[in-house]
Structure 1
Amino acid sequence: MSTFHLKVLTVDRVFFDGDVDRVVVRTTQGDIGILPRHVKYLAALGIGGLTIFSEGTSRMAAVAGGFVDVSSEGTVILARTCEWADEIDISRAREAEAQAKARLQQQLSEHEQDVASIKLKKAVNRIRIAEK
C-alpha cells in the first residue's frame, strides 16, 4: 500500500512525524479523509478527532483549531491543541465540561458566552475521544 508523509505540529511540540496510509481529521466543514496522492487542499480545523492510520493500525487524538495543508510533498497539520486519546485526563475533561456548563448558565456578554461554548465543545470532544 502507498503511503505519504504526515507532520502534526502544535505550539509546543512535534506531535507526529512519519509516513501514514491515511488520515481522517475534522475541519470546520466536516471530516475529511486524506489518502496518498490527495489533491492540494487547505482547510481550517474544527473541534473533533484526528485519526492516523499506519501499517494496519490506527491511533486517535483530540484536535481543536488550526489548519491542514495537503501538498505533493505531504500533509501538515498545524493544530492549536492536539492530544492522543490515551493521554487525555478524563476527570479533568469532565471538570472542564461542568465548569463550562455552569458558566453558560450565568448572565454573560456575547463574547463570554462564545468562549464558554467553545470550552464546552472542547471538553465534550476530549471526553468523546478518550472514551472511544
Structure 2
Amino acid sequence: MATFHLKVMTVDRCFYDDEVDQIVVRTTQGDVGILPHHVPYTAALGIGGLTIFQNGQSRVAAIAGGFVDVSGEQTVVLARTCEWADEIDINRAREAAERARAILQQKESDHEHDIAQVKLKKAINRMRIAGDK
C-alpha cells in the first residue's frame, strides 16, 4: 500500500514525523481526508480531531488551530495545540470547561466572551477525543 510522509509540528515540539497510510483532519471547513498522491492543498485547521492511519492501526489526537499543507513531498500539519487522546488530562479539561462556562455566564465584554467560547470549544473537544462523554 502507498504511504506518504506526515510531519505534525506544534509551537514547542515535533509531535509526529513518519510515513502514514492516511489522515483525517478537522479544518475550518470540516473534516478532510488525505491519502497518498493527494493534490496540493492548504487549509486552516479548526478545533477537532486528527486521526492518523498507519499499518492498519489508527491513533487520534485533539487538535486546535493552525494549518495543513499537502505537497508532493509530504503533508505538514502546523498546529497551535495537538495531543494524543491517551495523554489528555480529563480532569484538567473538565475544569477548563467549567471556567469557560462561568465566564460566559458573567456577561463580560464581547472580547472576553469570544475568548471564553473558544476555550470552551477546546475543552469539550479534548474531552470528546479522550472518550469522556
Give TM class, smaller chain: over 0.9
What percentage of aligned pairs have identical amino acids? 72
CA distance in 1, matches of 2:106, 2:2: 52
Letter in 2 for 1:47: I
Which residue is 2:126 aligned to? Answer: 126
> Alpha carbon RMSD of aligned pairs, Å?
0.7
CA distance in 1, matches of 2:68, 2:111: 27
Letter in 1 for 2:109: S
CA distance in 2, matches of 1:3, 1:39: 14
Which residue is 1:103 aligned to? Answer: 103
Which residue is 1:32 aligned to? Answer: 32
Which residue is 1:71 aligned to? Answer: 71
Displaced runs of 4 or more, over 6 A: none
How far 1:67 moved relative to its partner? 0.2
Runs of 5+ consecutive residues of structure 1 not aligned to the other structure: none
Runs of 5+ consecutive residues of structure 2 not aligned to the other structure: none
Q: Could you tell me the TM-score, scaled by structure 1's length?
A: 0.99
Which residue is 1:46 aligned to? Answer: 46
CA distance in 1, matches of 2:120, 2:93: 9
Which residue is 2:2 aligned to? Answer: 2
Q: Could you tell me the TM-score, scaled by structure 2's length?
A: 0.98
Paired residues, number: 132
